[in-house]
Structure formats: C-alpha cells, structure tokens
Amino acid sequence: MNTPQVQTSDTHFTMPGMATAHSHAFQRALRGRTQRRATAANSFWSWRGLMYTLAETLNPDDIYAIARLAYAELAMSGVTMVGEFHYLHHDVGGQPYANRIETADACIRAALDVGIRICLIRSAYMRGGYQQDLAPAQARFSDPSVDLVLQDVAQLQTKYADNPLVSVAVSAHSVRAVPLPQIQELAAYATAHQLPFHMHVCEQRRELAEAIEEYGVTPVQLLSDHGILNERFVGVHATHLNAPEIQALGAAKAMVCLCRTTERDLGDGLPQTTAMIDAGTRFCVGIDSHVEPNAFEEIRAVELDERARTEARHTVAEAPQLLQMATEQGFIACAASDAWREDRVTLRRNAIALAGIDAQYATDGVIFSAAPQAVDTVSVAGKTIVEDGQHPDLPEIIAAYRTVLQRAKIIE
C-alpha cells in the first residue's frame, strides 16, 4: 500500500503497525504510584523528583526487565516501533559502564526479545539547568562532552548496522539540559549523517522562563534563530509556543511528537495543534512515561484534546490523517521511513469496542474507538509476535518485572 490504510475482511480489520516515537521505558515502573497528593507529585517538577529517585535504583538488568514489559505492552496495543529517548546512561554516581552503551543495549535487547522495532535515540544531557548543578540522579544522565555522546552514537550505529529492526537517532535532551553550543554540535552531526534529531521543547512554562533568562528568547525561537529546525527535527511536546515559533516549525517542515496521555498526567497544558498543522508542521505521537497502555488513545487524543481546547468538533485531522501520524510519520521520526509497510496489526471486528463498525467506517472506528483488547495479532517484518491478543512470553515478562520492583522495594 502507498498510504496507510485500514482494510476489512469478514472477521478482522487490518492496519499497519503503529509507532510510538517517544518513550522513557524505565518510567513504566512509576505507573499508579504518583497519583495521590501524599506522593508529593503535585507538579511536573515534584513528579520529576520521584522519577529521579527511581532512576537512582536501577541497574542494566532492571532496565532490561522494565523495558521488556513496557515493550510487550506496546506490542499488545498494536505498536511495532518504539523510539526510546534514552538518557539513563551511566552507573549510580555517574561513572560510565565499561561498555558505555550497556543501558542502551539493554533497551535494544528488550525490544528485540519482544519482537518489535526500536530506534535508540541517544540523548545528550550536560547540566541541571541554567546556572544549576546536576542533581545526584542526573549524574547518570550526563556526559562532559559532545564527543563522548557521538562516540556512543557511532558505536550503536556500527553494532546494529545489520539489524533491520534497530535504528539510531540523536537527541539533545532540552535547552534546559544542554547549552546552545552543544545543541548545535549535535544537530550538525544529525544533519551530516541524515539522522532524526529529537529534543524536548516547551513542555513547561518554567522551561520558557529559564530560556528567556539565559538567552533572551524562548526555546523554539532559539533553535530557529540558530538554524537547528529542519525536516529532521522532532520536537517533543511543543505545548507552550508563541505564534512566531509555530510559524518557524511549519516553515522548516519539522515534526512535533505529541504525548497526550503523559502531558495530561503531568498537567503540562494543551498545545495549539490546529495552528501547528496549518503552519505546515507534521505530527507523530509517543507514549512517553507509559502512564496508559493504549496506543489508540494516544493518537485520537491529537484530535480530541484539540476539540476540548477549542470547544469545536473536527479540528486537527480526520481518521486517515491520524492513521498516517500513528504509522508512517512515527516511523519517519524513528529513522525507519518505509518499515511500516512490513508490519501488520489485526483487530477483531467482533470485539466490543468495534462491534457494528462496517467497512465504510473502518478507519474512523479503529482510530476513534479501538482499544488494545481488540488487537488479535501483531506481526513485525512477517513474524507474528502477538497472537490472540497476547505476547507468548507475557507471564515470564511480568514475573521478571515484579522481581525488579520487589528488589527496588517498590512492591513487597
């Protein structure tokens, strides 16, 4: 097929595999544990402190076990490609492992063992913020030079060059965590090697205030002023943009990765999605913190949350365009442009969420109504990895995950 489609048979709807282009798999271990006032997670920044506490406890085997569960859950939701925005690099205290890419390898191994594709988005992190020291947990994220970051990128590219299920991209974590000269170096490398370049941008208003204090402009404006925006740029969140920034993203044909279930969970706010689409920005989606296991909700939220913001119906995109964002555009953001054509997800037409949807409304029904429980089979590059809605290794995957939580004293 030339464009992503939902096809209909007597018993099933069939669609391409979906991509979630922004994941922090280790944060899956926080699910259900930050929703009460007593957890002191009443803002993004206090939630971040709880996430840092988790990050300080995990070794590479733990990261593998958590990622394997997160990725199996994605597969059972119809996802066949994950973009792992990876910044948990080093040992506790910030000492690099003897194999500098050990934790990246753990994420890649987890994806391959589940059977899905992965784009390892190697993220640079260099400071705690403008005029801020690194927090203790941030030492595990941080590198003293861009050369070390790019050494890891090159090692990943070489190691997995012959694996069609693995791709690599480059990231600067954010304007807050990486100074402008280093962002420019990373972006230049991505351009020279024709790799996607990902960044968190404008997720929180405090982030904007800090950028203005340091640079005199907001984050996306800073990137635009220095020629960093282009068609390979993937801006994650883009929640709080001004009109010139929206126009700059569109003029560059850049991509924005919305992560609406996480953005709702963290109280980030509502992006100006219609204005970005009208300006020419492309979209993909990401599960981010894995707060909710529903890839269908992640994509329909692009439209539905804009309806809530604008108090109107039919705002951003109809189902065929949302399907393209969930599949083709997400794969592009993950450096695997055409691989979506090789993956298939079948959904049971007799599943309660899809009961009564006929061929005429197949795409609309799947995008706006489907749930993971409707997924029957998932295949990646011709290999079936989910059958009858279940991953075959799920019991063992869950048991290993629970062992990690017990060791970390998260559960008894």
Q: Render pLDDT for 250-263 as a digit per residue (tens, 0 to 9).
A: 999 999 999 999 99
- What pLDDT is stored for residue 380 in this prediction? 98
Q: What gap in Å lies between CA 337 and CA 323, rounded to an integer?
A: 15
- What pLDDT is stored for residue 190 in this prediction? 98
- What pLDDT is stored for residue 40 in this prediction? 63
- What pLDDT is stored for residue 254 in this prediction? 98
- What pLDDT is stored for residue 214 in this prediction? 97
Angle (deg, nearest 10), helices 362-369 and 295-310: 90
- What pLDDT is stored for residue 47 in this prediction? 65
Share in percent of the chain as helix, strand, coil (round to 5): 45, 20, 35
Weakly modelled stretches of the chain, pLDDT under 70: 38-47
- What pLDDT is stored for residue 46 in this prediction? 66
Domains and CATH numbers, the chain: 18-340 (3.20.20.140)
- What pLDDT is stored for residue 12 in this prediction? 98
Residue 180 exposed, middle or buried by CB count within 10 Å (0-12, 13-18, 19+): middle
Q: Render pLDDT for 328-376 as a digit per residue (tens, 0 to 9).
A: 999 999 999 999 999 999 999 999 999 999 999 999 999 999 999 999 9
- What pLDDT is stored for residue 54 in this prediction? 83
Instruction: Give how far Cα 276 sits from Cα of 232, 248, 297, Å.
Output: 16, 10, 20
- What pLDDT is stored for residue 32 in this prediction? 83
Torsion of CA 158, 163, 164, 165, to 10 degrees: -110
Q: What is the value of pTM for the model shown?
A: 0.96
